[in-house]
Chain A
């Protein structure tokens, strides 16, 4: 792994997060380099999503620091929107804008945030739609699409911003089993193209195939960080062993 020479995209240091008195993140440190794909796994309530969501500050942290794309998220000088436009995010619930067509979903932020012209945004959107295999759905409303199709549109919507890193928060957890594959295929394709990715998922096959590193979390802490081969065959930590025996 020659990650040492690569640019650091995300640098989380000793991140602490409380929900009331519940400690959701307990001194979590994580580094993601440019081009790296990490998969975060762990039992529910272990803080995976919270950690991911703190990377674009959808979740406020209560301690530690978070530097993304060279910008300190908590520095008063940082314009948060400038950080977020470089950080794509895909949600479990898709969160497409139901009052806008598929095409409008993908062009909105391009025109409003990136200030691209309508034609430019449209062209970009159509290109991405064909990439995720939904060219024929450009003028449909999200409500008319299946879950898998909606999630692929959501990925296209994020990609339209030309993000430097993509965050995936359980992107297939709300999907019927037969639709999981089509979404994972898009994500694998993205990984092959060299996108920096952080993925929270329960899809172990995906983790094994795509991840450069698997980050195992439990009780708000990173318990083990390992290459997938090593992690899945001989996990060091007993909790990781227990978790894997339960799901595999």
Chain B
């Protein structure tokens, strides 16, 4: 009887920016070209036409901070929602499982922009919380569903024998989950979570539709006063590009480190 070592499968969920890896040379150079090009273009514009480019660049950083607050806040909350949802999706408890599945199905079936409006105004109806928090919660509720699928796939990618070994040693299911399964699953889900982070960073621009002064909204404010729409959105697009490229690289490096550790 032959036995094949189960291969660690990569969980590929998410539609974020492509994360370059060492083996992917083409992508790597494309990354470098885009990153250096975007910074160069921004610098050149600011230097050659300070009015309006330099002024735009001075005006929007407040928005970058807000974009980061929304993104980081939402991803942290989405991780919590996602973990609970993922555990629910694999739970044998019918109620918990059904609830998690319902959450995922409902969220996946509604456009993000509609959800943001809905949650924002629904929350506003019952509780008075700052706009920034409503925006974060709205983003997190949406991304939590996607993250739930990432966690579910990550947990299910761990070979069945791991749970069996832990149970046979007398651990409870919960202990086995906490000590054996999840620590391994976290490593598996890191790349897709990274992708979700970048996707969320980009989607966070949707909150500009609410009264949240993120990067895009700051740009809109500037443009509508100065009527420099083309110039402003050029700068905004370049800043988004630089930020997402930077993070996709960072996540790529983190992923490589973890793979080496294994």
A interface, CB within 8 angstroms of B: 44, 56, 58, 81-82, 84-89, 91-93, 95-99, 108-109, 112-114, 143, 154, 157-158, 161, 170, 173-174, 202
Within the complex, the shortest CB–CB distance from B67 to chain A, in Å, comes to 35
A85 to B171, CA, bound (A): 8
Q: In the complex where A92-B3, A174-B3, A202-B1 touch, is A85 in contact with B170 (Cβ < 8 A)?
A: yes
Contact across chains for A95 and B161 when beta carbons are under 8 A apart: yes
Contacts between the two chains (Cβ within 8 Å), count: 75
Contact across chains for A81 and B170 when beta carbons are under 8 A apart: yes
Interface residues of B in 140-191 (CB under 8 A from A): 159, 161-162, 164-172, 175, 179-180, 183-184, 187
Contact across chains for A97 and B172 when beta carbons are under 8 A apart: no
Which residues of the partner chain A approach B162 to less than 8 Å between Cβ atoms?
Answer: 95, 97
> Counting CB contacts under 8 A, is B262 at the interface?
yes
Between B5, B159, B165, the greatest number of chain A beta carbons within 10 A of the residue's beta carbon is seen for B165
Which residues of the partner chain A approach B183 to less than 8 Å between Cβ atoms?
Answer: 99
A154 to B175, CA, bound (A): 19
Which residues of the partner chain A approach B164 to less than 8 Å between Cβ atoms?
Answer: 58, 89, 91, 95
Consensus secondary structure, chain B interface: helix
Contact across chains for B170 and A97 when beta carbons are under 8 A apart: no
Contact across chains for A113 and B170 when beta carbons are under 8 A apart: yes
Q: In the complex where A108-B179, A174-B3 touch, is A91 in contact with B169 (Cβ < 8 A)?
A: no
B interface, CB within 8 angstroms of A: 1-3, 5-6, 159, 161-162, 164-172, 175, 179-180, 183-184, 187, 262
A154 to B165, CA, bound (A): 9
Within the complex, the shortest CB–CB distance from A76 to chain B, in Å, comes to 16
19 new A-B contacts, CB < 8 A, other than A95-B164, A109-B171, are A44-B1, A58-B167, A84-B167, A88-B168, A89-B165, A92-B3, A93-B5, A95-B161, A95-B162, A97-B166, A99-B183, A99-B187, A108-B169, A112-B171, A113-B170, A113-B171, A114-B170, A154-B165, A161-B170
Contact across chains for B175 and A113 when beta carbons are under 8 A apart: yes
Contact across chains for A173 and B1 when beta carbons are under 8 A apart: yes
Contact across chains for A93 and B161 when beta carbons are under 8 A apart: yes
Contact across chains for B169 and A157 when beta carbons are under 8 A apart: yes
Residue of A nearest to B6 (CB): A93
Contact across chains for B184 and A99 when beta carbons are under 8 A apart: yes
Contact across chains for B169 and A113 when beta carbons are under 8 A apart: yes
